[in-house]
Amino acid sequence: MMAVLFRLTVLLLLAAATPAFAAATKNGKFVNIEAVVSPGGITAWLVHDATIPIVSMRFAFRGGASLDPVGKEGLAKMTSTLIDEGAGDLDSQAFQRRLQDLSIRLHFGAGRDTFSGTLKTLTKNSDQAFDLLRMALSNPRFDAEPVSRLRSQFLSGLRRDQEDPDVIAARALSKMLYPNHPYGRPVDGTVETIGGITADDMRGFVSRRLARDNLYIGVVGDITATELGQRLDEIFGALPAKAAPFDIAEVNAKADGRTQVIDMAIPQSAIVFAQRGLKRNNPDFFTAYVLNHILGSGGFTSRLYDEIREKRGLAYSIGSYLYPMDHSALITGSGGTANGRVVETLSVLKDEWRKMSEHGVTAAELADAKTYLTGNYPLRFTSSGNIAAILVSVQVEALGLDYLERRNGLVEAVRLNQVNRLAKKLLDADSLTVVVVGQPKGLKSTP
C-alpha cells in the first residue's frame, strides 16, 4: 500500500518538475505534425524525433465508461485493466513477461468519454511492441485466472477509495450533479457491480467499442511516416470498421447550491465544489479558460490561492479548473481545511466567486494571465508521451492540425470586456454545489 502511495507522489513530482520537450522549436515554430494515413485508411498524427531511440504512441476510442450498462458500472475500466493480461497464444503471465523483458510500457485506461491506451518502447523493440498491442486490441483472452485476480485487485482499490475522503467527495459530487445521467455514475464501479462483470461482458465491450471509425492516434519519436503507415494497418487493421452506435444525452449539471456533508472521523475536511461550465467547443471556451486561470488555476498566483492560502492560511491545496466533457461541462475545484475552518473557507470561496462575477478582473490580471498561459504552453510538452497525448486530444476535440500553432493566438485574442462579460454571465456563487467529507464545525447538509 505504501509503495503505491510512493509511486503516486513520484508521479506528481515528475508532473510538476518535468520540463518542456519539443513544443517550440528553435525558429519559434511549434512541433511539426504530420497526418499519416495508412494504406488501409487509418490516420495517425506523427511528430518524428529521432533524438532518442524510443517511440511513444497514444490512442483513444470515443465512447468510455458512460456507456457502462446500469448495474455494470466499471465495465470499461475493468476491461482496460484486463485487455493486456493475456492475448492471442500468450496467457497473462507470458504476455506480461514479454512486455517486461522487452521494457515495453503498455497501459490502457477508461474515462467517461473515451477508452484509451499508451505504448512506449525502445526503437529496437518496436516490432514486438506493435505486435503485442495488436494482439491485445484484436485478440484479448480474458482468461479466468487473471479476471479473478484483477477483480480482487480492483475490489481492493475500491476498498481503499472508501478510506479516501477526496475520492468519496468526488463521487458524491458527481452523483449530486448528474442524478439521472451516466456522468453521475462511478467510472470505477462499485463493490457490487465489479463482482458481477464477466469475461463475456468485457469481450462484448471490446467487440462493440474498439473500432476504426472512433479511433484517434498520436505518435511521437523515432519512427518515420512511411513505417508508421504500414504499422498502423498491422496494429489496428483487424479492428471492425465501425463501433456500435451510441447516444448519450446532453445534460446540464444540477448545480443548485446544495451542500452535502458526509461524516468521517478525520481532522481535515475534504471539500469539492462545482457549478456549470462551458464545453470545449463553446466559442467562449478560451475566455472561460483565462477567467478560471485568474480565479483559481494560476499555480501560486490565483485569487483563490491568494485569499485562501496566502492571506489566511486556510488550506494547503485550493484551486479550481474547467472540466469540459462530451455532453456537459463544469467549473469545479477542491481544497482541504481543518474541520473548524470549513465554514470560513467556503465563505471566502463564495465571496471570491461573487466578487469576480460582479467586478470582473483587472487589465493587469488579464495581461499576467496571458503571458503565463502563452509562455507556459510550450513547457506542457514535457515528454514524447505527453506530446502524443496532446496529439490525441486535439484530434478527439476536432481542433485541427494547426491548433498547436493557433492556440497561443486564441489566448492573446481574449479581451478584457469579454472576460468580464463572461464572468458576470457564467460565475454564479449561489449555484456552487459543495460536498464536504469530514466533521466540519457548523456546517450541515442542505435538507
Partner 1 sequence: MRIRSFLFGVLVAVVVWAPGGPARAGHGLFNPQTFTLKNGLQVVVIPNHRVPVVTHMVWYKAGSADEPPGKSGVAHLLEHLMFKGTKKHKTGDFSRIVARNGGSENAFTSLDYTAYFQTVAADRLELMMGLEADRMSNLLFDRKEVDTERLVVLEERRMRTDNDPGSILGEHVNAALFLNYPYRQPVIGWEHEIKALTVADLRDFYKRWYYPGNAILVVAGDITAQQLKPMAERTYGKVPGRPKMVRHRPMEPPQSASRRVELKSARVRQPSWQRIYLAPSRITPIMGGPGVEHADALEILAEVLGGGSSGPLYRSLVIERKLAISAGANYDASGLGPGRFTFYAAPRPGVSIGKLQAAVEAEVAKIIDKGVADKDVARAKTRVLAEAVYALDSLATGAHVLGAALASGRTIDDVESWPDRIEAVTTEAVNAAARAVIKGRPSVTAVLQSAGKG
Applying the rule CB under 8 A, the residues between 205 and 244 that interact with partner 1 are none
Q: Which is closer to partner 1, CB of 12 or CB of 35? A: 12
Strand partners, 59: 117, 217
The reply on whether position 74 binds partner 1 by CB under 8 A is: no
C-alpha cell at 243: 463501433
Window 269-298: residues binding partner 1 (CB under 8 A): 270, 298
The reply on whether position 144 binds partner 1 by CB under 8 A is: no
Least distance in Å: CB of 416 to partner 1? 17
Task: Indicate the helix (H) or strand (E) that contains 107.
Answer: strand 105-110
The reply on whether position 119 binds partner 1 by CB under 8 A is: no
The reply on whether position 138 binds partner 1 by CB under 8 A is: no
Interface characters, 337-366, with partner 1 (x: CB under 8 A): xx----------------------------
The answer to whether 416 touches 368, Cβ cutoff 8 Å, is no
- Residue 16: phi and psi, rounded to 5, are -80, -30
Q: Which of 268, 332, 433, 439 binds partner 1 (CB under 8 A)?
A: 268
The reply on whether position 313 binds partner 1 by CB under 8 A is: yes
For the sheet containing 114-122, what is the strand order? 34-37, 43-48, 215-221, 54-62, 114-122, 105-110
Q: What residues contact 290, with CB distance under 8 A and at least 6 apart?
A: 366, 369, 370, 373, 411, 414, 419
**DSSP 8-state code for residue 145:** H
Q: Which is closer to partner 1, CB of 230 or CB of 371? A: 371
In this chain, which stretch among 177-185, 238-246, 263-271, 397-405 interacts with partner 1, using CB under 8 A? 263-271
CA distance 311 to 109: 40
In this chain, which stretch among 19-27, 192-200, 248-256, 279-287 interacts with partner 1, using CB under 8 A? 19-27
Strands 43-48 and 215-221: parallel
The reply on whether position 263 binds partner 1 by CB under 8 A is: no
The reply on whether position 246 binds partner 1 by CB under 8 A is: no
How many angstroms separate the Cα of 187 from the Cα of each of 52, 122, 239, 398?
36, 32, 25, 24
In this chain, which stretch among 37-45, 162-170, 396-404, 428-436 interacts with partner 1, using CB under 8 A? 162-170
The reply on whether position 163 binds partner 1 by CB under 8 A is: yes
Q: Which is closer to partner 1, CB of 100 or CB of 347? A: 100
How many angstroms separate the Cα of 293 from the Cα of each of 232, 289, 303?
38, 6, 9
